[in-house]
Amino acid sequence: MENILLRDKVRDLEGYFACGGYRALKKALAMKPADVTEEVKKSGLRGRGGAGFPTGLKWSFIPKDAQGPRYLVCNADEGEPGTFKDRELLLKNPHALIEGMAIAGYAIGASRGYIYVRGEFAAETALLDKAIGDARAKGFIGRNLLGSGFDFELSTHRGAGAYICGEETALLESLEGFKGQPRLKPPFPAVKGLFAAPTVINNVETLAAVPAIIERGGEWYASIGVPKSSGTKLFCVSGPVDRPGVYELPLGVPLRDLIEKTCGGLKAGKRLKAVIPGGSSVPVLTAEEALKVNLDYDSLAAAGTMLGSGGVIVIDDSQCMVKLLQVLARFYHHESCGQCTPCREGCGWIEKLLDRLEGGTGTPADIDTLVSVAEGMTGRTICPLADAMAMPVISFVKKFRAEFEAHAAGRCCPPEAAGKH
């Protein structure tokens, strides 16, 4: 099927305009704001940042009688290991994001938008700033958009490389100039967000899908994919496959097809061992599970994992799962903001236990302690970072316990699972 997001020759304004760019904005500005939101609801578009919350429903949470300013914020702080789809959009189709934000701003009554960009994305931010300037020069951003009377100003804001600022309320704290730490909820951002005003926060991929929905209709978009998981999704595939990269496919495609057909299968001499289907923070699938599941929200939930960001990490039989989990634990321990004790202490404890097991000084009791600590972290913190560490730990130990036991007893993996580490 045709790509909606990853299209050719749309990087600059001329190319985007030649392919029908900004027609959706013109159409939206002739509609009532509530009707724009309703069209997005009809589409079934769910947030592509990881949570999968219905986008149109999220927009409708802005209080109808709210006085004062409202804000729209794009989360472009892409820091989830295994995920690089938003970066691809910023580089190759920035005007889809800009147009999507102008439409979303009109729908929720926000005259100001911010794109919070990952700190390491210097080149991407420069390209985005140029695209915003080009759009402003043509009247697609700024005052009185296309003569409609609606004003919408847009600017970028680079973070400082903190993973925690991918969490929406930590992002808002950072955008306001404070330390990036998550806020207690309620109040939710739709009621009290940026600068204490009603705010909607959406992911890059989510907002970039909006122009096509408005131009071609919510029902058209809902016809793509599967029930409750409509539209296309960007999948980032990394690992020992022949063609790693970012691919746009309808939701519901078999994971087997993504690996074997789209990505050309595993490299010569490699055998599939496991797959993390939604970025490093979701539960892992064994090879057998992975080759049976479809890539949509409900199918992956039924398999005990999540679609998440769509970061598909392929793991072959040369990899040691203890070492892999140790690397993940080091990352999450380093990125914990330290605000919540279960996360701050739990991530560090897990890293120490895995260091012992990987270093040859662990014991069988350490394996059960790993699971116990992870279970004690789950659902007990302000934001989901603790869960992002806990879910891989629990699933890795459950599905590859033999490797952990071998490390505890023999200080190495069993021969059939031994990795070069």
Model confidence over 268-299: pLDDT tens digits? 999 999 999 999 999 999 999 999 999 999 99
Residue 258: what are its φ and ψ, rounded to 5°? -60, -45
- For 203-232, give one letter per residue: b (16+ CB within 10 A) or e: bbbbbbbbbbbbbeebeebbebbbeebbbb
Residue with the bigger pLDDT between 203 and 416: it is: 203
* Burial environment of residue 287 by CB neighbours within 10 A (0 to 12, 13 to 18, 19 or more): middle
Residue 348 three-state SS: helix
pLDDT at residue 411 greater than cutoff 70: no
pLDDT beyond 90 at 40: yes
pLDDT value of position 2: 81
Taken in order 179, 181, 184, 185, the sign of the CA dihedral is: positive
Mean pLDDT of 187-207: 97
pLDDT attached to residue 415: 52
- Residue 233 host element (H or E): strand 232-238
Segment 88-134, tens digit of pLDDT: 999 999 999 999 999 999 999 999 999 999 999 999 999 999 999 99
**pLDDT higher than threshold 80 for residue 20:** yes
**Left if phi > 0, otherwise alpha if psi is -120 to 50, otherwise beta: which for 73?**
beta
Q: How many CA within 13 A on the CB side of residue 214?
A: 33
* Predicted confidence (pLDDT) per residue in 354-401, tens digit: 999 998 899 999 999 999 999 999 999 999 999 999 999 999 999 999
**For residue 65, what pLDDT is reported?**
86
Percent of the chain with pLDDT over 70: 97
